[in-house]
Amino acid sequence: MKWAILGGGLTGITLARLLAEKGEEVVVLERDAEIGGLCRSRSQEGFTFDIGGSHIIFSRDQEVLSFMRDVLGDNRDERHRNTKIFYKGNFVKYPFENGLSDLPKEDCFFCINEYIRTLIAVEKGEIAPPENFREWIHYTFGRGIAELYMVPYNEKIWNYPAEKMSMHWVDGRIPRPPVEDIVKSAIGIETEGYTHQAVFSYPVHGGIEALVRAMAGPVEDAIVTGFEVMSVRPEGDRVIVSNGVESIEADRCVSTIPLQHLLPCMNDVPAACREACERLRYNSLICVCIGIEGDIPDYSWLYVPQIELGLFNRISFPSNYSKKVAPGGCSSILAEITCNEGDAISMLSDDEVVAQVVEGLVAMGLIESAERVVYHAVEREEFAYVVYDLEYLDNVEAVRTYIRDQGIDLVGRFAEFEYLNMDACIRRAFDFVKAL
């Protein structure tokens, strides 16, 4: 059987490899000149940066984790997480609820007092179950942790009001901390959260794109780049995929590209389906790549909830993941900013974005001055994060159902329109192939 796989990102390449291992014929059709999607990396002047945001290799899913490690082989370093939240000039242990003793005493008391008050009120049934993401944060963590960190950080990264977001997606993504850990944290007893990422891997050479490249090895000859899908149409028991010049025939078609790109390629799409797709919200991403002369602090990544420090919500330190992604005597920092097409953030020039990031890094004490910057670049990705608004479930179901009824399978973050990490994208590919 011949498969046409739309998109050569992590999911598409994983699918191609797994299907080929089962003896299927595959062709991967990728719009860009290079494969990788959000897992692409850029190398320039001795620096390597992941241009779809900072990526690391970890997972609770041992099958997927072993698969990623085996694919990389010797091109893999392992690190212990050292992650902080920058709060009121201090580097607070991550996650926030595990670093309460790092807070000013008044803030620590506010957090633990409100957490306990909320816990008791919930047990007594005095607080109604939450109906949106903001209410869920207050219901789960109490007013202190919610107001000091969780709400401002999440509204910064999602670029959307928390009360307008659904809460259906949080289970499994935002763990509920054990009560004893919260209390221990407040009085200074060491606790760890998100232990599944406490130790992570990263490619020694090539950035995260090295993972996709290694995965693509057995199916390189089946990958067609520079092929922008313009139409997808069923024809009898076949499907025809065209870029307007060349047509590919296949028995089955699986899409890993955004729904917003796929739907216009299909004929006679009902108006209700098109409108549902238009209502699906997502964020774009601006990645600011900064090369630094000299050393940087030994952090893995930082979360930055304060807007006054800059638009960036997360800062990572690639040269702390691998010593081979920066020239000798240099280090690297990657800042991430979410935006939406046409908003004030998206309209900033690259120079304006770089200047603001560097100013923020100096203000946080991560670099002494702008004079230490020896390299900078800006990368922009239109599709980065799925935003779960209150209408999400109805809209996404309408679009998915129509496309699948046309015989096109959907796998991956923006094809399924789900906020999936790398390991979850690979798991979806595993499960799809196993289900065949």
Domain ranges of the chain: 2-37+207-280+389-435, 96-191
- Say if residue 350 is exposed, middle or buried (CB neighbours under 10 Å; 0-12, 13-18, 19+): middle
2-37+207-280+389-435: CATH number: 3.50.50.60
Predicted local distance difference test score (pLDDT) of residue 33: 97
Nearest to 14 by CA among 284, 307, 214: 214
Place of tokens 């690297």: 332
Report how far apart the first and last C-alpha atoms of the chain are (Å, whole number).
12
Predicted local distance difference test score (pLDDT) of residue 88: 95
Predicted local distance difference test score (pLDDT) of residue 194: 84
Predicted local distance difference test score (pLDDT) of residue 115: 96
Predicted local distance difference test score (pLDDT) of residue 147: 98
Predicted local distance difference test score (pLDDT) of residue 171: 79
Predicted local distance difference test score (pLDDT) of residue 178: 87
Gap between the Cα atoms of 35 and 54, Å rounded:
17
Predicted local distance difference test score (pLDDT) of residue 175: 74
Mean pLDDT by 10 residues, the chain (436 residues): 97 98 98 98 98 96 98 97 97 96 97 96 96 97 98 97 96 81 92 89 98 98 98 94 97 98 97 98 98 97 96 98 98 98 96 98 97 98 98 98 96 97 98 96
H-assigned helices in 73-132: 105-123
Count of CA atoms in the C-beta half-sphere (13 A) of 191: 23
H-assigned helices in 58-150: 62-72, 105-123, 133-145
Write down the pTM of the prediction.
0.96
H-assigned helices in 146-226: 151-158, 179-187, 209-216
Predicted local distance difference test score (pLDDT) of residue 177: 82
Predicted local distance difference test score (pLDDT) of residue 241: 98
